[in-house]
A and B are shown apart, each in its own frame.
Chain A
Amino acid sequence: MNDFAALVPQRLVWDKAEDGAPASLVAALARNAAEYPDRIAFRERVYGIWQEQSWREVLGEILAIAAGLERHGLVPGMALTVIGDNRPRLYYAMLAAGMLRAFPSPVFPDVPPDELKVYTENGAPDVAIAEDQEQVDKLLELRARIGRPKTIVYDDPRGLGLYTETGVMSFDALIADGIARLKDDPGLAADLLSRAKADDIVVLLHSSGTTGKPKGIPLRQRNVARGVVNAQKSGYFALHEELFAYLPTAWVGDFVFTVGAGLMMVATINIPERQETALHDLREAAPTFYLAAPRAWDQMLTRIQVGMQNATPLKRKLYEWFMPRAIELEKKRLAHQPISLGDRITEIAGDVFVRAPLRDWLGLSRAQRVFTGGEALGEDTFLFFRALGINLKQFYGQTETCALTAAQPDDRVKLHTVGRPMVGVEMKLDDNGEILIKSPSVVDGYYDDPEGSAKAIVDGWLHTGDAGQIDADGDLVVLGRVSEVVRTASGERFIPGFIENRIKFSPYVRNVAVFGAGRDELTAIVCIDFDAVGNWAEDRRISYTSYADLSQKPEVADLIASVLAHVNVLQPPSLAIRRFVNLHKDFDADDGEITRTRKLRRNTIEDHYATLIAALYSGVREIDFDARITYETGEVGTIRRRLIINEVAR
């Protein structure tokens, strides 16, 4: 093992903002190494045990990586492609790039080689950091096509021993080069620490590209640093959090809430062994701060519901008795209604029998600040987790504001709102109801796109594209994308995403697309949840062979019809879903039907399934549908399926 702590200069100085907080993430790193040298900074699970590194060691390793990267061609203003799952050295490399006044540009690890080109255009990255062989192969393919990146540094050497391509090197070799440079030049470490400025780009992210090509969004050091400090002043972060780094590194949520908050709040960042073990490792890490996308909360809820369906009678009865009561009580709490003594007793008993064991099983028993964001979370899911005793709150933000715009304070948790603007955030609605934001965390503009920047940011106000309104208490309600509001033939306004979220609360539905713009009635394409419906079918002795087979079973059609009928009750009659089809496969990011962050790409779906949608409105009972499938290799094939069109009872 390298003695990284010895590489840290004796005297550390760092830039401070007016209120004394570090002005940049590099400054925060120096502050942490100086003031909390022995506090655990990163904790990574390797072969079942957690490897810990203190702030001083982390700074030493980052200095070595920075010195190594500089030697291998990373220059100020250049992007550094980072592709892979959450690994400490990938994070270190991101921070090392910041030291060199270059900037990391993380890419989703499941991006296919074709799309990789789009994500590596901005900043002309000549150096890339890859997690493992899979990513190295992709980058080599990219290099064969466009001649970049020249240097590829990999973290996990498995399978790479015999690679002879030039410029492919291991992290160990990079670090060894860096250490050699630092030892030759005693002033280098202090020099590396002094270069970064608050105005430098700290990370280049990309918009999810729900509509068209992703845009480069450069966050600057001061955006993240000030954003986190303002969120702390609003009470959404605390010093010395335990964080859990499992979100995709290319999502703003991971960079700001894991790296940004981790450095500024002197937190401990826990990194799971692999994506597949993340849920298990979450229980071992037991974070105090936890952020998950609505998708993940829905999945957690499904896991609990499936587990409870299989539970032994006593356990299941207790759950079925206590959980609905807990949810009712939570509703009362949120409505600020008086709570009776009986309710309290039920709550305590429910805590012993159901809620505390479930919180412990999830690994959220210590979590004090728990958030959901990115898109709307189904009300029922939201209520369920709050009723479980987890202080789940909504936050609202865009990549352009470092995801730090608004959140719910403890006493203002409501089902429909996203809370209030954080400290330092100014917000207003324009005449169309679009939300406009001005805050220190708002970016200056898009990368290399003055036209787009001028459109999105006018006089310092960011046009979010979200339709919103302020409710009677002064809390912000986000209705949906301004562009997503559509009307039926009779002129009724609705947002498909809103209805879809309601349907997706059912554990049996994994994805759904609702149609009806310009039509008389609403229809839906439903992707069943294979685990939950499979389990349901097994319980009823319905045999099936595959997802496609299961989805077309008449019993499953009845099941989904009952789910939709339940949602219809909550809808105005003119916006009830009348017909649906169970799709033979789930929507897939490789087919372009959903984004990597699992948002629906409505245009693509309407294009792919145009014949199917036409059939939904034509009144036929079934249709032979030629489905287009994109394989992971990038090849495209078609498959003919007979799909049954089902009616929802009125």
Chain B
Amino acid sequence: MIENDSKLSIEKSASGRRALVFNARNKNGIKIPQHLLRDTEPLLPELSELEVIRHYTLLSHKNFSLDANFYPLGSCTMKYNPRINEIVSSLKNFEDLHPLSDDACAQGTLELLYHLEKALCEICAMDATTLTPAAGAHGEFTGAAIVKAYFENKGEKQRVQIVIPDSAHGTNPATSSMLGFETVEIKSNEKGQIDIETLKKALSERTAMLMLTIPNTLGIFEADIEKIVSIAHNSGVVVYMDGANMNALIGILKPGDMGIDLMHLNMHKTFSTPHGGGGPGAGAICVKKYLEPFLPVPRVIKEKGMFRTKSDCPLSIGKIKSFFGNTAVLIKSYAYILSHSNDSLSEISKNAIINANYLLKKLGKLYPPHNREYCMHECVLSCPEELLKNQVRTLDVAKRLLDFGLHAPTVYFPLIVKEALMIEPTETESKETLDAFIQAMQKIYEEGKYHPETLKKAPINLATKRMDETFAARNPDLRWESKKTCSSKV
């Protein structure tokens, strides 16, 4: 069956088969020195054009993707990526720009980056932005490096700790370690929010930064945020916001107004650029005025009506990425922002919150929710006791969803919730799609109760059945090796 054909293109190869044959002519008789020639023919797939097309089309059919499937992967904001973003970013003047061009020849792109920085400052009520970080975690790294440089410059080198709630993104403690900070974890209270007394105890003259994910990984807003920020500021601590969940806040609330000192934005999540296949993303950092001197270079500035890059910034943490980061992603994000009016920008988050709460109310009856009352842009549920009793776990529920043509939610995260299912529907899904998801989840609940064996075997209807993930992780086989030997001299 062709659908099940899992051969690699090189395994389908037939000697001498070609799509196009070029007649290479060495007009000028250039001779490449013998020692620069390879000893063996390169091992490349030899296929007809039709075979290549079929190969990749079949592969794309096997893939779960946002363009084909509902994709409620919690914390990832898998919203629709409007095609106009693609059209704009592939305009020739953007696409053909050489990264080493003079500023004078790169005016359009620099102007766009300049205005995107301004737009993000306005959306977040911050004073300055850098667009260079390659993704969210890289943004965090940049942010923590800025704070480190700030305290070193201030002569407060004893500030070596970062305080992080247990409801934060997993990358936060990793960022802290990468920069040589000590991580101090604080436990959330029963509401899933920061406990003020615990926070007070954790902060000291050794604390550099409080790192908050807002809304947190439980999909809950920190109701005491103003109190939290003022306690931190009174101890001389900088407050960082992980803005990966900004899809819950745009146009409703500006982090800078809450007293946040610096934050990152996942452009590929909130501002709708394709992600999920390993990138590229973009992770802007927005800061308050007093942290601006530490931003990475190059900066984009406007001078005498022209836009230019500036790298002469003595307190800057330096370069963190080649050129301007992932510019194509940034162009798409800017197109997304401009294609919304002020009003429609805040509709994004309102609808994301409504969709998540609709799922919470409907599914919360069967799958126990972490917080029954409300959530922001995502909700966290657990595998029901009735199913756990039948040896059915969250993983089995997730695998079965694939059989219904639905991408699974994030599972087993956040770690503080047992058997967690983290569901983020985003604002771009219709009620009909959400209802289809609810129906599938209800059916899976029934199956788990009366026919648990179906769930243990799932997925049943897909070309690839249940994988042994433990075996794969323990015995990673990551390299394809040719059975053919290529010994022929070129």
Chains A and B come from one and the same complex: no
- B residues sitting closer than 8 Å to A (CB atoms) are none
- A residues sitting closer than 8 Å to B (CB atoms) are none
